[in-house]
Structure 1
Amino acid sequence: MASARISARDLAQIAVFAALIAALTLPGAIPTGALGLPITLQTLGVLLAGAIIGPKKGTLAVVVYVALGAIGLPIYAGGTGGLGILFGPTGGFLFGFILCAFVVGWLTARLLPRYPFWPALGLTAVGGILSVYLIGIPWLAVTTGTPIGAVALGMVAFLPGDLIKVLVTVSVAKAVHRAWPGLITPRPWGRRRDGSSTDATTAAVDA
């Protein structure tokens, strides 16, 4: 059985991606749409964390980022931080980032070692974007007293930017996994707990 302990290398990767997410927030936020929600590059960092270092380390990197912002470091959108932001109207998107990194990392592990571009693009788009919105939209609706349908409609304006971030993520992740294989342990579809494959497709991917 593989060790569940986190190595020094793992910790370094987690720290690097937590810092990357924070750094991608620094260029600033642009309020857009009727709800005035800010567009930042945070989501790009979250997607990259899941797609490059996987579900466990990627999720931990986002948790570290969210926790550092919660204690007051000005690393959230707009140079903000603190529990008031974390549990405020946009806090659901921050919690959605955690789910996003896990889902994208989980899906990426099942596309490796080949990591085909178009399947990766589709799964990362659906899994990553939906994960953020799944928590962020209801949270925003409840905290602002806005009908959830109106909030969901307002999110449509953000989809083009989100899709561009997904495209960048998959392009970068494909190059990284080609250059440095082994950052994420492949978990092909249909693999049982004992490591055996449930179908011929899985065997072909492993070969």
Structure 2
Amino acid sequence: MTTTISVRQLATTAMMTALLVVLGLFPGIPLGLIPVPIVLQNLGIMLVGALLRARFGTISVGLLLLMAFIGLPVLSGGRGGAAVFFGPTGGYLIGWLLAPALISGLSTIWHARETHGWWRELVIILLIGVGLVDLIGSLWLAGQSHMTLSTALLSNAAFLPGDILKAIIAVLLARRLRPVLKLA
């Protein structure tokens, strides 16, 4: 069985990976409470999940993480290298890799990409792009920082207002970009 990949799919995947790298140029904002900063790149992860199909969204984020793993400074604030994956933020990166496929898959199942489904798309992005990523990140953070899981989960509350705003922006951007990129 052969599958063909269109130039449009490849170009869109590359463009989204480039967007993730550009969003990494913005430095993270340290909270001081936990060793995890507020970053803009998770907006890009949500947008990748909303725009691309599961396979290409995962490839896009996987390429970003591969570049970071080999040492390219593509993560927020110019971070990169294998150490980032084993530090306190490693769980969030794992969540990032899972998010596009889950966002895309649930959006397809719930028909959230339809015109009347904007609120469904927002709920999906909040559940996966915020909730699941924060849960995986908290589990990892608890293990890495030797804090209780409840403390790690509670510390993520500081991210919620910004993450909710990023989810709203991701849905609005996705709904405007789909017709332009012919992804509808």
Which letter does structure 1 place at the counterpart of 2:159?
A: F
Aligned ranges 1:52-67 → 2 under 5 Å: 52-67=51-66
| Residue 168 of structure 1: aligned partner | 169
| Residue 147 of structure 1: aligned partner | 148
Instruction: Give unpaired runs (5+ residues) of structure 1.
Output: 185-207
Contact kept? 1:59, 1:102, Cα under 8 Å: yes
- Give the aligned length: 182
What TM-score, normalized by structure 1, do the two folds share? 0.81
- Distance across 2 between alignment mates of 1:156 and 1:171: 23
Contact kept? 1:54, 1:108, Cα under 8 Å: no
Describe the superposition over 1:1-41 as per-residue Cα deviations: whole angstroms up to 9, x where unpaired. 9x544333222221111111111111211101511421111
Contact kept? 2:35, 2:88, Cα under 8 Å: no
- Distance across 2 between alignment mates of 1:170 and 1:103: 15
Aligned ranges 1:121-140 → 2 under 5 Å: 121-140=122-141
| Residue 101 of structure 1: aligned partner | 100
Which letter does structure 1 place at the counterpart of 2:10?
A: L
Higher deviation after alignment, 20-29 or 3-12: 3-12
Contact kept? 2:49, 2:103, Cα under 8 Å: yes
| Residue 114 of structure 1: aligned partner | 115
| Residue 26 of structure 1: aligned partner | 25
How big is the shift at 1:157?
0.5
Larger CA Rg, structure 1 vs 2: 1
- Distance across 2 between alignment mates of 1:158 and 1:66: 22
- Distance across 1 between alignment mates of 2:75 and 2:181: 30
Higher deviation after alignment, 29-38 or 140-149: 29-38
What TM-score, normalized by structure 2, do the two folds share? 0.90
Describe the superposition over 1:98-126 as per-residue Cα deviations: whole angstroms up to 9, x where unpaired. 11111111123332333522222122211
Contact kept? 1:24, 1:42, Cα under 8 Å: yes
Aligned ranges 1:5-44 → 2 under 5 Å: 5-44=4-43
Which letter does structure 2 place at the counterpart of 1:173?
A: A
Which letter does structure 2 place at the counterpart of 1:167?
A: I
- Distance across 1 between alignment mates of 2:116 and 2:7: 26
Other structure's SS at 1:32 match: coil
Task: Indicate how the Cα distance of structure 1 residues 84 and 124 shifts in structure 2: closer, same or farther if over 3 A, else same.
Answer: same
Task: Indicate how the Cα distance of structure 1 residues 168 and 154 shifts in structure 2: closer, same or farther if over 3 A, else same.
Answer: same
Task: Indicate how the Cα distance of structure 1 residues 116 and 147 shifts in structure 2: closer, same or farther if over 3 A, else same.
Answer: same
Instruction: Give unpaired runs (5+ residues) of structure 2.
Output: none
Which letter does structure 2 place at the counterpart of 1:14?
A: T
Structure with more of its chain in helix, by fraction: 2
How big is the shift at 1:180?
4.6
How big is the shift at 1:178?
4.1
Task: Indicate how the Cα distance of structure 1 residues 114 and 4 shifts in structure 2: closer, same or farther if over 3 A, else same.
Answer: farther
| Residue 73 of structure 1: aligned partner | 72
| Residue 189 of structure 1: aligned partner | none
- Distance across 2 between alignment mates of 1:155 and 1:40: 13
Contact kept? 2:40, 2:76, Cα under 8 Å: no
